[in-house]
Amino acid sequence: MDGIGDRVRIHTGDITRLAIDAIVNAANSSLLGGGGVDGAIHRAAGPELEFECRMLNGCRTGDAKLTKGYRLPARYIIHTVGPVWQGGRKGEAELLASCYRRSLELAAANDCRTVAFPAISTGIYHYPKDEAAGIAARTVSTFIEQKTMPETVIFCCFDDQMAELYRQAVAALRKG
Ligand code: AR6
């Protein structure tokens, strides 16, 4: 796939450490914090983040909302709510794709050149990891083929196993 090669990167590590324009949070619909990457982001950003989140009136599954990054090295946090895996017949794939699209739209609207995603829904929400990586790779590549911003999208994987799944998902796209 044209363009995806130089504009998509796979990184293994803690997303809260990335000094980029925006990181995406795998939040829940309350936006008031939780476990997993959400807990890590709230801890690293500090209590002002929850204060701003309280004013957002939550977020629907598949949608996204933007806050400042506070004590994070990233300028913004884009909070999105992934679907809970319920077997695959409850619209989970479309909702997960929507998380990526809505987050990228917000990133572009806020002049973010570089944005990093965690593997949304693949932890506490139990989405099958390989399927989720495929949806992430396909949705991001379709978006960036059509738009100039964000310039670079990072798939931030917490461990090597997830990074390998993303490598395979991106390679599958390149083969067409
Ligand atoms: N950096 C990058 N990735 C991480 C980090 C980190 N610091 N910590 C975890 N991951 P999860 P979900 C990975 O459970 O499945 C919360 O309670 C993790 O290995 O954080 O969308 C929310 O409030 C996994 O691959 O999010 C919601 O209630 C991925 O991030 C619920 O969990 C997502 O795992 C959302 O569940």
Per DSSP, the residues of 78-115 read: EEEEPPPPSSS-SSHHHHHHHHHHHHHHHHHHTT-SEE
- The CATH T-level fold of domain 4-175 is Leucine Aminopeptidase, subunit E; domain 1 (3.40.220)
Per-residue model confidence (pLDDT) at position 1: 40
What is the rounded distance in angstroms from the CA atom of residue 90 to the CA atom of residue 100? Answer: 18
Q: Where are the domains of the chain?
A: 4-175
Spacing, Cα 2 to ligand 1 middle (Å): 30
Closest Cα to atom 27 of ligand 1: 28
Per-residue model confidence (pLDDT) at position 175: 78
CB 140 within 8 A of CB 104: yes
pLDDT in tens, 50-61: 999 999 999 999
Q: CB of 37 closer than 6 A to ligand 1?
A: yes
Per-residue model confidence (pLDDT) at position 18: 98
Q: pLDDT by residue for the chain (176 residues), tens digit each?
A: 444 678 999 999 999 999 999 999 999 999 999 999 999 999 999 999 999 999 999 999 999 999 999 999 999 999 999 999 999 999 999 999 999 999 999 999 999 999 999 999 999 999 999 999 999 999 999 999 999 999 999 999 999 999 999 999 999 998 76
Spacing, Cα 5 to ligand 1 middle (Å): 26
Report the predicted TM-score, pTM, of the whole model to 2 decimal places: 0.97
Spacing, Cα 125 to ligand 1 middle (Å): 8
- The catalytic site residues sit at 38
Per-residue model confidence (pLDDT) at position 125: 98
Q: CB of 122 closer than 6 A to ligand 1?
A: yes
